Each structure stands twice: as structure tokens, then as C-alpha cells.
Structure 1
Amino acid sequence: MDIILTRRSIRKYTGEQIPEPLIKDLLAAAMSAPSAQNQQPWQFVVVNQPELLKELSKCSPYAQMVDKAPLVIVVCGDTHLEQAKGFWVQDCSAATQNILLAANQRGLGAVWVGLYPREERVDIVRNILGMPDHIIPLALIPIGHPAEAKEPANRYNPAKVHYNKW
């Protein structure tokens, strides 16, 4: 529970590089997410080139921290791998959350920058990274060693819980 409850959106990073074995661990966490019919309709683009990070930071008004991160993982849905139509969004969202939790567990900071369903953001990222049409970027996840600390947030709200019926 501590990893879940202490996860926060971290947007400031020291710039220290993330070693390849740690990147692989984050991706293994992503690929361990549940998916409809075990279809695993995800693809991932690991971006660590500064010029690409700078371009990606302009894809959304909420992506300004991207060029300050040493690493971004782009979580994408692959419609060619989709068996349960439309469930790629849920599947890739579960993979995204797993990356965020694994990053927190490893002492890294990360934040979910949504792209899909905003077509203009999807198109910008597709163009920057040269993605084919059947690949849909869902989110950018900037990751780095945190240069900020945030206290855990208690977001439990009993007013949003309903038992048996509304």
C-alpha cells in the first residue's frame, strides 16, 4: 500500500540518467499489467535523446517538463494486436499505472501526461516518433530522479463509495 499511497506526480528531475536495467524493469512492470483477453495490445517507445525530448515537450501544454526528464516512455496502443475492440485504452492505462508505481518503488519520479483522445496531441507525437497509423500514443511518462518532494495525498472519499446499489 505504501507504494500506491506515496505515488505522486513528479515534474522536476535532477537530470541524472536512468540505467538500462532500470528501464527494462519499468517496462517489465508495464507488461505485467492485466489486459482484456490477455491481448497485451501495447507498444512502448523509450525516448532519451534530448532533441526528441524537446520536441515532445511541445505536444501538449501539460508536457513542459518532458525536456527536463532524462527519459520518457511513450505508452501506445497497437490496434493490430487488439482482439477485444476498444479495450486497448484500459489495457494501456493499466500498463501506464504499473510504470508509475514501479518508478515510485525504485525512488524515481514520474508523471502521466495524457495524449489520447486528443487527436492533435496524438498526431504530433506520431509525427515526431514516426509511428504508423495503427499505433496510438496514449500517454507520455517523463521519468527521472526527483528534484522535488511531495507529501502523500489522502484521496479516500467515503461519499464516492456505494454498496450493492446506488
Structure 2
Amino acid sequence: MDSIFMRTSIRNYQVKPVEPEKLEQLLKAGMAAPSACNQQPWEFYVVQDTVTLRKLSECSPYSACAAHAPAALVLCIRREGLVYAEDAPLDMSACCENILLEAAQLGLGAVWLGVYPQRDRMLSVANALHLPDTLESFAIVPVGYPTATAVQQDRFDRTRIHIV
């Protein structure tokens, strides 16, 4: 559980590539997430091209950090063949969280940049990556080695717990 309590949103990265085996480990972690009826609605784009990273950095008011990341994972929802299509965003959220936790475990920094359900952001990502019509962008996760360490704030709040 250490990675849960050490995970922070990291937006500044060293100029150092992320090893292919670590990127693969992040993807394995994402694909290990639970999903409704095991539908696994995810598809991933691993972006390392600086021109494409720059395009992704312009997809939302909050995505500028992608331009300076050595890599970004773009999580997409596969819309065909799903048993419970309405649950796909929930599945994708679990997938994204697994990736963030694994990044912390591997000594990497990452941040969840929301794209879904804002249609303008989804369209910007689709255009940047030339996504097929069968995919919808869900999130951009820039990843790299952090320039500084960050400590997670304690968010535990007993007043939000109700025992019945």
C-alpha cells in the first residue's frame, strides 16, 4: 500500500527518457484493473514524439505539462463490443489509477489529465493522434522522472465516515 500513500500529481520531469520496460509495466498495471463483466474497454497510445506531445499539451487548459514530459500515455475507450458501455468510464478510472500507483512504485512521476467527458478536449486528442472513430480519448497521463520529490498530503477525514 506504500504507493497509495506516496502517489502525488507530478507535472515537472527530468530530461531523461522512461525505459521501455517501465512503460510496459505501467500498461500492464492499467490492464490489471477491474472492469464491468471483464469488458476491458481500454486502448493505449504511448506517445514519445515531441511534436505529438506538444499537440497533446494544447488539448486542455491543464495539459501544458505534457509538452515537457518524455512520454505520455493516452488512455482511450474502445466503444465496440462492450457489454456495459455506460460503465466504461468507471473501468477507465480504475485503469488510470492503477497506472498512477505503478508509476509511483517505479520511481516515476505522473499526473491524470482529464479529457473525458469534455467533447472539445476529446476531439483535440482525437485529432492529435488521428484516432479511429471506434475510440474515444479518456485521459492523458504524462510520465517521467520527477524533478523534485513531493509528499502527499494527508486527506483522511473522519467527518466523512458514517457507520450505520
Does TM-score exceed 0.5, indicating one fold?
yes
Which residue of the partner structure matches residue 21 of structure 1?
Answer: 21
- Alignment of structure 1 residues 137-152 onto 2, 5 Å: 137-152=137-152
Provide Cα deviations, 1:81-132, integer angstroms capped at 9, x if missing partner. Answer: 3211211101011110000000000000000000011100000000110112
CA RMSD of aligned residues (A): 0.9
Which residue of the partner structure matches residue 78 of structure 2?
Answer: 78
| 1:62 equivalenced with 2:53 (yes/no) | no
More helix by share: 2
| 1:3 equivalenced with 2:3 (yes/no) | yes
TM-score if structure 1 supplies the norm length? 0.96
CA distance in 1, matches of 2:57, 2:28: 25
- Alignment of structure 1 residues 1-166 onto 2, 5 Å: 1-164=1-164
Which residue identity does 1:159 align to in structure 2? T
**What percent of counterpart residues are identical?**
40
CA distance in 2, matches of 1:88, 1:68: 30
Question: Any runs of at least 4 consecutive aligned residues in structure 1 with deviations exceeding 3 A, and if so which?
Answer: none
Query: Which 10-residue stretch deviates more, 4-13 or 128-137?
Result: 128-137
TM-score if structure 2 supplies the norm length? 0.97
CA distance in 1, matches of 2:43, 2:23: 14
Q: Judging changes above 3 Å, is the alpha-carbon distance between structure 1 residues 94 and 76 closer, same or farther for their aligned structure 2 residues? A: same
- The total of aligned residue pairs comes to 164
Deviation of residue 161 (structure 1)?
A: 1.3
Deviation of residue 150 (structure 1)?
A: 1.2
Q: Which runs of 5+ in 2 are unaligned?
A: none
Q: Is the 8 A contact 1:76 1:135 kept in 2?
A: yes
Q: Which runs of 5+ in 1 are unaligned?
A: none
Q: Is the 8 A contact 1:13 1:146 kept in 2?
A: yes
Provide Cα deviations, 1:54-105, integer angstroms capped at 9, x if missing partner. Answer: 1110001100100100000001111103211211101011110000000000
For 2:61, what is the secondary structure of its paired residue? coil
CA distance in 1, matches of 2:82, 2:115: 19
CA distance in 1, matches of 2:27, 2:113: 17
CA distance in 1, matches of 2:150, 2:20: 26
Which residue identity does 1:17 align to in structure 2? P
Q: Is the 8 A contact 1:6 1:153 kept in 2?
A: no
Q: Is the 8 A contact 1:41 1:91 kept in 2?
A: yes
